[in-house]
């Protein structure tokens, strides 16, 4: 194998008798390099977007969230919840209320999820000021109460914090109500907006944050809550604490970490990433047809060398190994060049933000396309390209070379 590698390496860099073979070999390397470069860049962008979404969600979602398996609400007066509060890893234990309500503002209406939270909820979950696009995070300023509105809801309602009209909330009354008078079928209340937040499109167009007592009265929850949100201390292991809480609460409650709270979104993003790998892999297969052409012409060009090697006692296996390694070297050279160029471009994008996001400055959380390089992706790309190169080399070596080997043996 060492001899086959040495000869194949000489064939790769040496001048051929027909100049077009050198050109086709160069095109083969360039094609593989371009496909590999595209894989590195696209996967890095996908990783960057996934990381950005995960970071934004983590700014709004708790480390762990407790919800009932059945029903929409539960009591936290059971002694099991006291045990959860007393766990040394728990930094905060926050009761919240989440229910759907119909919002009215002037002549516009919008169905939203009203989330009742404590006054200092922004500090509990670490929602810093960069996510407040307008106004401030204020829920209670006696004698007034306020709402903090998601940017998507504010846009749809044409709502601004400087406007003088309140947002009206409508929630259905529980129990028997009169169908003749719709006003008796709903509980109505209103709040002024103190701020508008922007975390992620899904969150911004869904949630409006209100004082906990306001939500309890609006939805007639009395002493019940919709969920308990738990923030852990920095050194805590989320999976271990999640297991502890599940053991304490039993099978009646679900305890979800941040990824499980948005399981569908993360699964979709992961699926999209591997679909892209599959699509670009097919492009690499097409680009690797140049390797087939290059090897086919190289075999024809080197038939005299093959005859000399055979006369010196070289077996058919060695001859085929030489051309197989030649095709593999073309793939590896293109793969390494593409990976190096891809890493350089990703670094340049990270450091200098070469490719900006379209639109006015300040419109998005980031001004440039986010990228993140992951080492496992580079290994996957390399082995994928090397594997495709091996398959692209197999056909000309197995069939075309056989014809000339037999001819020379005769």
**Each residue's pLDDT tens digit, 100-137:** 999 999 889 999 999 999 999 998 888 777 688 899 99
Q: At what angle do helices 19-58 and 375-395 cross, to 10 degrees?
A: 150
My answer on whether 6 and 155 are in the same domain is no
Domain end residue (candidates: 214, 234, 260)? 260
pLDDT at 286 over 80: yes
Domain end residue (candidates: 222, 238, 260)? 260
pLDDT value, residue 154 = 95
Domain end residue (candidates: 208, 226, 260)? 260
pLDDT category, 302, cuts 50, 70, 90?
confident
Q: Rounded to 5 degrees, what are φ and ψ at 140?
A: -135, 125
- Number of structural domains found in the chain: 2
For the ranges 111-125, 285-299, 393-407, which has the lowest average pLDDT? 393-407
My answer on whether 235 and 277 are in the same domain is no
pLDDT tens digits, residue range 39-62?
999 999 999 988 887 777 777 899
My answer on whether 350 and 280 are in the same domain is yes
pLDDT value, residue 408 = 45
My answer on whether 92 and 203 are in the same domain is yes
Question: In whole angstroms, what is the distance from residue 30 CA to residue 341 CA?
Answer: 12
My answer on whether 312 and 251 are in the same domain is no
Task: Compute the mean pLDDT over every residue in the chain, rounded to the nearest whole number.
Answer: 87
My answer on whether 39 and 92 are in the same domain is no
Mean per-residue pLDDT for 52-79?
89
My answer on whether 26 and 80 are in the same domain is no
My answer on whether 253 and 279 are in the same domain is no
My answer on whether 111 and 10 are in the same domain is no
CB 354 within 8 A of CB 45: no
pLDDT value, residue 214 = 97
pLDDT tens digits, residue range 77-91?
999 999 999 999 999
pLDDT category, 195, cuts 50, 70, 90?
very high
pLDDT category, 409, cuts 50, 70, 90?
very low
Threshold 0.85, pTM exceeds: no
User: What's the 3-state SS for the chain?
Assistant: CHHHHHHHHHHHHCCCCCHHHHHHHHHHHHHHHHHHHHHHHHHHHHHHHHHHHHHHHHCCCCCEEEEECCCCCECCCCHHHHHHHCCCCEEEEEEEEEEEEEEEECCEEEEEEEEEECCCHHHHHCCCHHHEEEECCCCEECCEEEEEEEHHHHHHHCCCCCCCCCEEEEEECCCCCCCCCHHHHEEEEEEEEEEEECCCHHHHCCEEEEEHHHHHHHCCCCCCECEEEEEECCCCCHHHHHHHHHHHHHHHEEEEEHHHHCHHHHHHHHHHHHHHHHHHHHHHHHHCHHHHHHHHHHHHHCHHHHHHHHHCCCCHHHHHHHHHHHHHHHHHHHHHHHHHHHHHHHHHHHHHCCCECCCCCCCCCCCECCCCCCHHHHHHHHHHHHHHHHHHHHHHHHHHHHHHHHHHHC
Mean per-residue pLDDT for 303-327?
82
My answer on whether 101 and 250 are in the same domain is yes
Tell me which residue range forms the domain holding 282. Answer: 2-58+266-409
The fraction of the chain above a pLDDT of 70, given in percent, is 90
pLDDT tens digits, residue range 169-186?
999 988 755 555 666 788
Mean per-residue pLDDT for 362-376?
79
My answer on whether 253 and 114 are in the same domain is yes
My answer on whether 294 and 360 are in the same domain is yes
Mean per-residue pLDDT for 148-155?
95
pLDDT at 28 over 90: no
């Amino acid at each position: 194998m060492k001899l086959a590698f040495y000869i194949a390496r000489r064939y790769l860099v040496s001048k051929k008798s027909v100049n077009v073979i050198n050109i086709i070999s160069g095109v083969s390397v360039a094609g593989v390099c371009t496909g590999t470069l595209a894989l590195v860049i696209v996967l890095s962008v996908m990783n960057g977007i996934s990381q950005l979404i995960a970071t934004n969600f983590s700014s709004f979602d708790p480390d762990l969230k407790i919800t009932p398996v059945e029903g929409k609400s539960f009591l936290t007066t059971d002694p099991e919840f006291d045990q959860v509060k007393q766990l040394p890893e728990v930094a905060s234990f926050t009761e919240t209320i989440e229910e759907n309500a119909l919002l009215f503002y002037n002549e516009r209406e919008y169905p939203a999820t009203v989330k009742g939270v404590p006054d200092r909820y922004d500090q509990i979950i670490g929602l810093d000021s960069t996510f407040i696009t307008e106004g401030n995070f204020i829920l209670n300023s006696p004698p007034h109460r306020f709402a903090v509105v998601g940017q998507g809801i504010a846009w749809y309602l044409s709502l601004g914090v400087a406007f003088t009209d309140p947002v009206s909330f409508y929630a259905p009354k529980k129990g028997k109500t009169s169908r003749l008078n719709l006003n008796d079928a709903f509980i109505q209340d209103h709040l002024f907006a103190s701020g508008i937040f922007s975390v992620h499109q899904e969150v911004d167009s869904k949630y409006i944050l209100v004082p906990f007592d306001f939500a309890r009265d609006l939805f007639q929850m009395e002493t019940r809550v919709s969920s308990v949100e738990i923030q852990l201390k920095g050194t805590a292991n989320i999976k271990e604490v999640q297991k502890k809480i599940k053991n304490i609460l039993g099978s009646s409650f679900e305890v979800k970490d941040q990824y499980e709270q948005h399981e569908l979104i993360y699964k979709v993003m992961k699926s999209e990433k591997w679909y892209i790998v599959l699509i670009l892999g097919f492009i690499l297969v097409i680009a690797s047809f140049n390797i087939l052409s290059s090897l086919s012409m190289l075999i024809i060009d080197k038939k005299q060398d093959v005859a000399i090697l055979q006369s010196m006692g070289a077996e058919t296996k060695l001859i085929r190994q030489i051309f197989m390694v030649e095709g593999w070297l073309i793939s590896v050279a293109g793969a390494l060049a593409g990976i190096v160029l891809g890493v350089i471009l990703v670094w340049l994008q990270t450091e200098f933000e070469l490719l900006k996001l379209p639109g006015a400055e300040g419109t998005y959380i980031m001004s440039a396309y986010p990228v993140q390089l992951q080492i496992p992706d580079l290994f996957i790309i390399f082995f994928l390209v090397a594997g495709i190169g091996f398959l692209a080399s197999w056909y000309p070596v197995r069939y075309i070379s056989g014809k000339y080997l037999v001819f020379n043996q005769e």
